[in-house]
């Protein structure tokens, strides 16, 4: 059975570098045989998580729909911006909502036993790698197996060509390899 990957970014920005990089990693995954669903996070915006609001109203319908998508996939390909040395509030809020158990759900059902591949893009010199380390930490603590290799693209504002690919062939190969490795990963 092909691996079913849910791909999303921690940015809903229209010209997001992370979404552009994600598309290249997705191409690597698809070429390696995976089925990939790419989400536009502009269509998956949740209110900032608040326990009182959750107790009063339950999860918003859009959270329940997002969790259904997560449960229908066995892997995640995530592109995360770096904000002040960590990952974006959009990604953190998405993860926080998705960890909340609905009646009948197992604890951390959206996450446990899933595999994730991580990439990031930034205009800075580190490419968002510091943020990726935080994503790895959080996902690992909620039961996700995160691929050892991560790819961070520095100077993202200069890195893409007009067709949306990367000017540097080695960087393109590394981005695609995250997707391809995720497509083929087998846990022991």
Ligand X SMILES: Cc1cc2nc3c(=O)[nH]c(=O)nc-3n(C[C@H](O)[C@H](O)[C@H](O)COP(=O)(O)O)c2cc1C
Smallest separation, CB 144 to ligand X (Å): 21
Residue 18 in contact with ligand X, rule: CB under 6 A: yes
Which of 84, 158, 163, 186 is the binder for ligand X (CB under 6 A)?
Answer: 84
Nearest alpha carbon to residue 76 among 122, 29, 123: 29
Smallest separation, CB 166 to ligand X (Å): 15
Up-side HSE of residue 12: CA atoms within 13 Å toward CB?
12
CB 74 within 8 A of CB 80: no
For 115-135, letters b (16+ CB in 10 Å) and e give bbbbbbbbeeeebbbbbbbbb
Which of 44, 69, 71, 83 is the binder for ligand X (CB under 6 A)?
Answer: 83
Which of 67, 75, 82, 183 is the binder for ligand X (CB under 6 A)?
Answer: 82
- In angstroms, the CA 167 to CA 144 distance is 32
Quick one: tokens of 96? 């926080």
The stretch among 28-36, 45-53, 64-72, 75-83 that binds ligand X (CB under 6 A) is 75-83
- Between residues 12 and 69, which has the closer beta carbon with respect to ligand X? 12
Interface ranges with ligand X (CB under 6 A): 11, 13, 16-18, 81-85, 122-124, 126, 128
């Amino acid at each position: 059975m092909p691996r079913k990957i849910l791909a999303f970014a921690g940015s809903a920005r229209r010209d997001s570098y992370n979404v552009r990089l994600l598309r290249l990693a997705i191409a690597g995954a698809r070429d390696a045989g995976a089925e990939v669903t790419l989400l536009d996070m502009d269509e998956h915006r949740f209110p900032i998580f608040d326990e009182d609001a959750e107790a009063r109203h339950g999860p918003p319908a859009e959270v329940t729909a997002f969790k259904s998508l997560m449960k229908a996939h066995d892997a995640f390909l995530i592109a995360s911006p770096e904000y002040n040395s960590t990952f974006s509030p959009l990604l953190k809020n998405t993860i926080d909502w998705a960890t909340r158990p609905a009646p009948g759900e197992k604890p951390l059902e959206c996450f446990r036993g899933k595999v994730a591949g991580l990439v990031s893009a930034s205009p800075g010199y580190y490419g968002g790698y510091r943020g990726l380390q935080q994503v790895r930490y959080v996902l690992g603590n909620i039961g996700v197996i995160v691929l050892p290799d991560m790819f961070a693209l520095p100077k993202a504002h200069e890195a893409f060509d007009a067709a949306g690919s990367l000017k540097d062939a080695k960087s393109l190969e590394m981005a695609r390899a995250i997707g391809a490795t995720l497509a083929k990963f087998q846990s022991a």
